[in-house]
Structure 1
């Protein structure tokens, strides 16, 4: 519970504070790490954005509201990719804001190598990295 006299924190201040606790990753570095099998890319964007803009090939799609349940290595609802606390996870959102908060949440679960993509999917696409058009049902 917060102190009644404590000044509320704005989102910009919160992002600045949480980003001090880990090193964020740029698009080309994330791509190389994934290609080398050194990182798991996790796309937390909601379906409408993935349908509109496309997908990062090879990224695991886990919408934000399920992230902790799916990546907790000790959780009963974890995905097979959630192999341990040493897993290097790179969280990707649309522009690199929600992914910062998600990375910190993963740190709280013990995934100490979790990070996020600076600029999110938009930076990935702007860097000219591969984007897959989603299949139309």
Structure 2
């Protein structure tokens, strides 16, 4: 899996950026602008490209960038997404904190997660 830097992820206009961080982290630190918040426990279910309960608006070919706090659990989640048929799933090197440190767009945290 080729992981992305914050600048590389930001440069992908059609990417689905998926924030899997817990609510308390998102409230304290914010969220990536235009990201979708998906609880980790339902991630594969909601992004399965063949599933009836998948999120609308993306295909198996859509680049998916998974984000956690520092880029550890997101690597495992992206690997799992590749295994269920999302070959362009990857994660963000350094996680949300690297994105924020790079000065890229963020919003106030607390967005309702997809469950």
After TM superposition, is the score higher than 0.5? yes
Runs of 4+ in 1 over 6 A off after TM superposition: none
- Partner of residue 52 from structure 1, selected from 2, 21, 28: 28
Is the partner of 2:65 in helix, strand or coil? Answer: strand
Higher-Rg structure is 1
Question: Is the contact between residue 23 and residue 110 of structure 2 (CA under 8 Å) also seen in structure 1?
Answer: no
Q: Work out the CA distance in 1 between the residues paired with 2:60 and 2:110.
A: 33
Alignment of 1:7-18 (within 5 A): none
The residue that corresponds to 1:128 in the other structure is 103
Query: Which ranges of structure 1 fall in alignment gaps of 5 or more residues?
Result: 1-21
User: 1:134 and 1:97 mapped to 2: Cα distance?
Assistant: 20
Whether the aligned pair in 1 keeps the contact of 2:26 and 2:110 (CA below 8 Å) is no
Report the equivalent of 2:92.
117
Report the RMSD for the aligned CA atoms in angstroms.
1.4
Question: Per residue, is there more strand in 1 or in 2?
Answer: 2
Structure 1 residues 50, 135: CA separation in 2 closer, same or farther (over 3 Å shift)? closer
Equivalent of 2:49 in 69, 73, 79: 73
Cα distance in 2, alignment partners of residues 105 and 46 from structure 1: 19
Q: Which has the higher helix share?
A: 1
* Contact 2:6/2:99 (8 A) holds in 1: yes
Q: TM-score, normalised by structure 2?
A: 0.91
